[in-house]
């Protein structure tokens, strides 16, 4: 049983294990990503059911550009197909789409599809689905630092204006609250350059299943685990 009073406002997920899921079945890696898209639907539905406000999914990291070209292309096509086929559901479910990451590195057709669905869902206000695409936290923090340095050089800011709040306001996630719960699948205990600044006080739940096997019940179980933890934010 979940307590309705302590549902995390923001859940972030590192969707890991698509490749191993496919390998364990003797299938090509792209099949694992396709099966993973079904788990994305499950995670959205589960967040809607719980009344979660933000769901951030690590869909493609800065490092993922180093994968074979065929896998990168397959992922981009899958993303486009997913968004095109899911747009009507997002409208029906009152879900707003946003993205974080170096979007200008994505292929033009992927960017166009994203922009279309972002615009279409912009006034939806139940759940915000944030896709981290071509995203790397170190790159994000470096870009924010550059903006602050430029502001200093231009005289917009003084040295004493540089605070954690100012830095947070220059990140891609400026308008998004920090995650309360970080889930990673496939049993790996790594953060992998994901939201390093923003997860400072997040509770982590590691799920020992590959992402394509992740179902709504797994998200509910992770929230139950979160509710057992006592968040102290550094105090006693």
For the annotated catalytic residues, the residue numbers are 16, 64
**Closer of 66 and 123 to ligand FPP (Cβ):** 66
Contact between 17 and ligand FPP (CB under 6 A)? Answer: yes
Task: Enumerate residues 42-71 that contact ligand FPP by CB under 6 A.
Answer: 57, 59, 64
96 makes contact with ligand FPP (CB under 6 A): no
Residue 127 is a binding residue for ligand FPP (CB under 6 A): no
How near is the Cβ of 195 to ligand FPP at its closest, in Å? 15
Q: Which of 12, 13, 37, 207 binds ligand FPP (CB under 6 A)?
A: 37
The residue at minimum Cβ distance from ligand FPP is: 19
DSSP labels, the chain: ---GGG--SEEEEE---HHHHHHHTT--HHHHHHHHHHHHHHHHHHHHHHT-SEEEEEEEEGGGGGS-HHHHHHHHHHHHHHHHHHHHHHHHTTEEEEEES-GGGS-HHHHHHHHHHHHHTTT--SEEEEEEEEE-HHHHHHHHHHHHHHHHHTTSS-GGG--HHHHHHTSTTTTSPPPSEEEEETT----TTSSTTTTTT-EEEEESS-GGG--HHHHHHHHHHHHHS---TT--
| Count of residues of this chain found to bind ligand FPP when the rule CB under 6 A is applied | 18
Cα(218)–Cα(214) distance, integer angstroms: 6
Q: State yes or no: residue 33 binds ligand FPP (CB under 6 A).
A: yes
Considering the complex, state which of residue 82 and residue 194 has its C-beta at the smaller distance from ligand FPP: 82
Shortest spacing between CB 67 and ligand FPP, in angstroms: 8
Residue 19 touches ligand FPP, criterion: CB under 6 A = yes
- In terms of CB distance, is 109 or 150 closer to ligand FPP? 109
Binding to ligand FPP by residue 8, rule CB under 6 A? no
The least distance separating ligand FPP from the CB of residue 17, rounded to whole angstroms, comes to 4
Residues in contact with ligand FPP by the rule CB under 6 A:
15-20, 33, 36-37, 40, 57, 59, 64, 78-79, 82, 131, 211
């Amino acid at each position: 049983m979940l307590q309705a009073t302590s549902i995390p406002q923001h859940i972030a997920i590192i969707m890991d294990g698509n490749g191993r899921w496919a390998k364990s079945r003797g299938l090509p890696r792209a099949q694992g990503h396709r099966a993973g898209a079904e788990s994305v639907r499950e995670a959205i539905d589960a967040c809607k059911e719980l009344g979660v406000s933000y769901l951030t999914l690590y869909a493609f990291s800065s490092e993922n550009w180093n994968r074979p070209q065929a896998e990168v292309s397959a992922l981009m096509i899958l993303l486009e197909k997913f968004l095109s086929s899911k747009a009507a559901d997002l409208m029906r479910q009152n879900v707003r789409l946003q993205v974080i990451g170096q979007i200008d590195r994505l292929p033009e057709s992927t960017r166009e599809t994203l922009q279309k669905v972002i615009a279409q869902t912009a006034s939806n206000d139940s759940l915000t689905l944030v896709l981290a695409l071509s995203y790397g936290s170190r790159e994000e923090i470096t870009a924010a630092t550059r903006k602050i340095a430029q502001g200093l050089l231009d005289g917009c800011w003084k040295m004493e204006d540089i605070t954690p709040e100012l830095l947070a306001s220059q990140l891609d996630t400026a308008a998004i609250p920090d995650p309360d719960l970080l889930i990673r699948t496939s049993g790996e205990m790594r953060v992998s350059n994901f939201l390093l600044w923003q997860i400072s006080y997040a509770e982590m739940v590691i799920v020992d299943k590959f992402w394509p096997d992740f179902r709504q019940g797994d998200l509910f179980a992770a929230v139950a685990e979160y509710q057992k933890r006592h968040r102290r934010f550094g105090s006693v």
